[in-house]
């Protein structure tokens, strides 16, 4: 995956970049399967590798296939991103160890979800139980976000088309 990231950053042919991002998404999906997050892996494979690749290729059809030469020197942005990366890495040092059973995330509401969700909701998949039932408000919000995103895209692209028709008249 690290090799792919370097290749994506250096590659100037956008078609190759799109294909490599799709490969990256599939690798990410396998990593998520290895972490036992099958629901997320499924989403990553279908959205990241599937739909967004098609959308990016569609966009590529509308633009040119080569990346434009950068207008600015990359010095300052490079320093900023390295600094932010170092700060985030420093932040991870304070996190509890991976799969530590005493970590706060495993001691708050998770035991109740894991032990009682089948009894309370009759749904064996804990992820679905948490998403749709315990965190129903959040999922309603997420659905609204998806809806709003769709409306936004419609508003942006629709108006453009109407404008072209107006010009033609």
Partner 1 sequence: MRRDLVLRVLAQLLIPGMMLFALYVQFHGELGPGGGFQAGVIAAAAIVFYALIFGLPAARRLLPDAVVESMLAAGVFLYASVGLAGLVLGGNYLDYFVLSADSVHGQERGIFWVEAGVAITVSGTMLKIFYLFAGRTRDP
| Nearer Cβ to partner 1 (79/149) | 149
- Least separation in angstroms between residue 15's CB and partner 1 is 15
Q: How far is CA 91 from the centre of its chain?
A: 21
- Least separation in angstroms between residue 87's CB and partner 1 is 32
Residues that bind partner 1 (CB under 8 A): 38-39, 41-43, 46-47, 50-51, 54-55, 58-59, 61-62, 119-125, 127-129, 131-133, 136-137, 139-140, 142-144, 146-147, 149-151, 153-154, 157-158, 161
- Least separation in angstroms between residue 58's CB and partner 1 is 4
DSSP label of 68? P
| Nearer Cβ to partner 1 (15/147) | 147
Other Cβ atoms within 10 Å of 29 Cβ, number: 21
Inter-residue contact 40 to 28 (CB < 8 Å): no
13 pairs with which residues across the strands?
A: 66
- Least separation in angstroms between residue 109's CB and partner 1 is 17
- Least separation in angstroms between residue 120's CB and partner 1 is 7
| Nearer Cβ to partner 1 (95/158) | 158
DSSP label of 66? B
Q: How far apart are CA 137 and CA 155, in angstroms?
A: 26
Contacts of 75 (CB under 8 A, 6+ apart): none
Q: How far apart are CA 24 and CA 9, in angstroms?
A: 13
| Nearer Cβ to partner 1 (69/119) | 119
């Amino acid at each position: 995956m690290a090799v792919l990231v370097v290749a994506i950053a250096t590659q100037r042919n956008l078609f190759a970049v799109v294909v490599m991002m799709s490969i990256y998404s599939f690798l990410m999906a396998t990593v998520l399967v290895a972490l036992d997050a099958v629901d997320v892996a499924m989403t990553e494979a279908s959205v990241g590798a599937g739909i967004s690749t098609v959308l990016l290729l569609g966009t590529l059809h509308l633009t040119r296939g080569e990346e434009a030469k950068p207008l600015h020197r990359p010095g300052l942005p490079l320093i900023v991103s390295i600094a932010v990366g170092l700060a985030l890495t420093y932040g991870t040092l304070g996190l509890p160890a991976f799969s530590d059973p005493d970590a706060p995330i495993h001691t708050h509401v998770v035991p109740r979800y894991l032990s009682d969700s089948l009894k309370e909701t009759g749904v064996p998949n804990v992820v679905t139980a948490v998403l749709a039932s315990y965190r129903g408000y959040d999922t309603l919000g997420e659905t609204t976000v998806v809806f709003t995103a769709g409306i936004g895209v419609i508003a942006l692209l629709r108006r453009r088309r109407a404008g072209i028709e107006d010009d033609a008249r």
